[in-house]
Homo-oligomer: A and B are copies of this chain.
Amino acid sequence: MIQKNENNANVNDAITPRDKDFATWYDDVIKGANLAHYGKVKGTVVFTANATFIWENIQKALNKTFYNKGIRNVLMPSLIPYSSFNLEKEHLEGFAPEMFLVTKKAIDAQEMADPLVLRPTSEILFCYYFKDILVTYNQLPLKLNQWGNVFRVEKNTRPFLRTSEFHWHEMHSLHATEEEAYNFIKEINGNYVDFLKTYLDIPVLSGEKTINERFAGAENTFTCEAIMQDGQALQCATSHYLGQNFSKPYQITYRNANNQLSIPYQTSAGLSTRIIGAIIMTHSDDLGLVLPWEIAMNQITICPLRNDEIVNKYTAELAKELRSYRVFIDDSNNSMGWKIKDHQLVGTPILVLIGLKEALEKKVTIIYRDKNIKEEISYAEFIKNIQNFGNEYHNRLYAKAKARLDASIEICHTIDEVKKAIANKHFALAPWGGDANDEINFKKETTISPRCIKQEILDSEKLTCFYTNKKATHWVYFAKAY
């Protein structure tokens, strides 16, 4: 796939360094790499061509995983009757403050008695569908997925991280037994960990959520938590074991092998466009975006440095050899400096510079986005090893992020230690024994939240919860979070 198109970066805009102001750096990278643009309605954004391309690559990769697990895609309606939410109280309470409500079907129409909610998530939609179509045990397990947009009223918007409308996939499944459902959703969580590593070069801490951090209506939630360069956690994907919390009130039943009426066990899981925020804040630097090899818009950009027959011919030959990759030829009249800056801004993994010298000597000058230095290599070597070079780039990005995550974990036993770890831009790993209210109070007091449970505390450890002084039950990772 060889593409010629115009230059998309905003090269003239300066990027604020990360250590000066991380939040402004984030906004500058998004603007410079042309990833998002605010919509007219507060809280909404346009996902530009660059961001959409990344998202489509993510979709392709996850679709392959899901398809091989027998998960099939469907498209649910976006509108849910408000009254339908009444059946699962926790779910209603969780989403009530964030609902966009359609109340009229024309500007001069009467208000509807039962308004329509723009779906904040689709559990209810899937429940009604499941109720209608499920008849017998041999339809189980039933595993469906949806790629779509969901809506949640947000006061403070940040592109990708928090928007009133965002895009995601949501997987919903039904199973005959608790055990099968539970194992399946743990497997899905494992698939996310693999996907984040293999395609996005993002290492994560993964495990169960504490009580208060679970999805509204779930029995249990598994999470993948990544650390951003400012030390804050970003929840990359969540997988929920719903038990019969939805299937019971929404009356989903089937006949089992003995012809008895039975209630299935349910799961759901999702990953959203906020992952683009995670990609930005995991890998990017003060020059702009750094994109993983597997999902980059352009994996390789070739810049002919003069418009000259020899250079153009050499560029065309090279592009042809590389055609199985996503290759972009920047044959604009811009200077070499401009071109380098441009493609560093949009995060191209491998930049290839071709001047007359390179063409005559059968060489190429390359710049890896993570190294930002020029390296000369023979044409033949480059062609022969390009797949390795891509893999090595991918491995370097992952290794760098993994080293940062590993180095960030501080074992803490007191609230002061926890606060100090967070102030150091680290994750605190600390013994916890509180209940849901303790979690709420601790978070209110410190803005620090439990990200995920590492493991249960052994009897031999005899540890005390750093916050409640009760007997600790788990080791839990704490951080400030996006």
Contact = CB atoms under 8 A, between A and B. Distances in A.
A132 interface: yes
A257 interface: no
Contact of A79 (B41, B70, B80, B105): B41
B103 A74 contact: no
B40 A81 contact: yes
Given A41-B79, A75-B167, A149-B149, A144 B107 contact: no
Contacts of A165: 77-79
B84 A40 contact: yes
Contacts of A482: none
A48 interface: yes
Given A116-B100, A148-B149, A44 B74 contact: no
A303 to B, nearest CB: 18
B101 A102 contact: yes
B153 A70 contact: no
Nearest to A82: B107
A463 interface: no
A129 interface: yes
A115 interface: yes
Contacts of A138: 6
A271 to B, nearest CB: 16
Contacts of A205: none
Given A40-B81, A52-B75, A107 B102 contact: no
Contacts of A100: 79, 102, 104-105, 116
A106 B102 contact: no
Interface in A388-409: none
A37 interface: yes
Contacts of A153: 105-106
Contacts of A212: none
Interface string A46-76: 1111011101100000000001001011111
Contacts of A55: 75
Given A46-B77, A52-B74, A55-B75, A96 B106 contact: yes
B72 A53 contact: yes
A67 to B, nearest CB: 8
Contact of A49 (B73, B106, B151): B73
B48 A74 contact: yes
A47 B74 contact: yes
A77 B139 CA distance: 37
Contacts of A133: 37
A45 interface: yes
Nearest to A109: B101
A437 interface: no
A138 B333 CA distance: 12
Nearest to A38: B132
A248 to B, nearest CB: 18
Contacts of A106: 96-97, 99, 101, 153
A181 interface: no
A161 interface: no
Interface in A115-143: 115-116, 118, 125, 128-129, 132-133, 138-139
A5 interface: yes
Given A40-B128, A52-B75, A128-B40, A101 B99 contact: no
Given A102-B102, A103-B104, A106-B153, 4 more contacts: A40-B84, A44-B79, A99-B105, A103-B103
10 contacts: A40-B77, A40-B84, A41-B80, A49-B72, A52-B72, A52-B73, A53-B72, A53-B73, A101-B102, A101-B109
Ranked nearest first, the 3 interchain pairs of A and B with the lowest CB-CB distance are A44-B77, A49-B72, A47-B75
